[in-house]
Amino acid sequence: MRPPLHILVVNGIKVHRPVFVLGAPHSGTDLLARALKRSPGFHVTMGKSAVAHVVYAFARKPSIIVRNGGDGASRVLRDALAQSWQLGPETCGECAAACREAGGITGSGPCLPAGPPARFGDASPDLLYSAPALLRAFPDARFVQLIRDGRDTAADMMADPACLAWFRPGMLSEETEFPNPFLGVNKEEHRDRWKDMPAAGKCALRWRSAVRLSAELRRLLPPEQLLTLRYEDLAASPVAAMSSVSDFLQARVSAVPLYGPAARTGIWRARLSATDAGWVEKVARDELGRLGYL
């Protein structure tokens, strides 16, 4: 049975069919967020602290989402997003640099839409792990998920201190829940194996787990509610990719913002050592093959 539709009003505007952008780290969610943020009628946030705190709490302890039928988690997430979506110059002080850059904001000006937004959305990092709570909080939500070659994803993750920070041995403490989709560790007995694994292997585990969650969403959600894009398609044909997004969201999403940043494909060949590439292909071989990357 579908959860009831809750009416959320932000600054006097009713939130309907909000858009959530999902994907593994460095899978292109920031590129799509850029296109959405710079398209008329969209108010899309990224990494606001109110949302980030909830997202990472759910990611670290997935059981929170299912407690009490998931109602508590959905309320907390809905409240966090309502706070994140508030419109006003003072709210921009909480915006992450990536959010302001995606909106094309320079200096200290507010990153607000030109007029009242028609659609709200969020593209915070690691939002994927909150998808069940998002669906319960917003049953009419639209999800766009990004898939990218796991070797390219690993190469970018290994150059990102924020991603590498999650790989400290202490991240798998005695209180850690298993299976742990966020780190990609399925069993408690794999804890020591994970701690001894090089960063490339840990990146591959995170990517593998994320694409498995994406595959599960494709199984559960109807096509009118979920669109899956490949990062490589964003890079090769931005216009066609954004045409698909526009049709899916029933709103015009411009491809122009995608021509600013360079979408990079095949970077792993230059940036991963043979050993690191071997680790990624060993850990994620099945998923790389299923998705056509091997």
Amino acid sitting at position 64: I
User: Tens place of pLDDT for every residue, the chain, 294 residues?
Assistant: 455 556 788 878 889 999 999 999 999 999 999 999 888 889 999 988 899 999 999 988 888 888 866 788 999 999 999 998 988 766 666 677 777 677 666 666 666 666 678 899 999 999 999 999 999 999 999 999 999 999 999 999 999 999 999 998 888 877 788 889 999 998 888 888 999 999 999 999 999 999 999 999 999 999 999 999 999 999 999 999 999 999 999 999 989 888 866 678 999 999 999 999 999 999 999 999 999 999
- Quick one: pLDDT at residue 1? 46
Q: Which of 28, 255, 239, 243 is nearest to 146 (CA)?
A: 28
State pTM to two decimals. Answer: 0.92
Please give the structure tokens belonging to residue 204: 């591959």
Instruction: Spell out the domains of the chain, with CATH numbers in brackets.
Output: 7-147+223-263 (3.40.50.300), 148-221+265-294 (no CATH)
Tell me the backbone φ, ψ of residue 220, rounded to 5 degrees.
-90, -35
- Sign of the C-alpha dihedral, residues 289, 293, 19, 54? positive
DSSP labels, 103-137: TT--TT-----SS--SEEEE--TTGGGGHHHHHHH
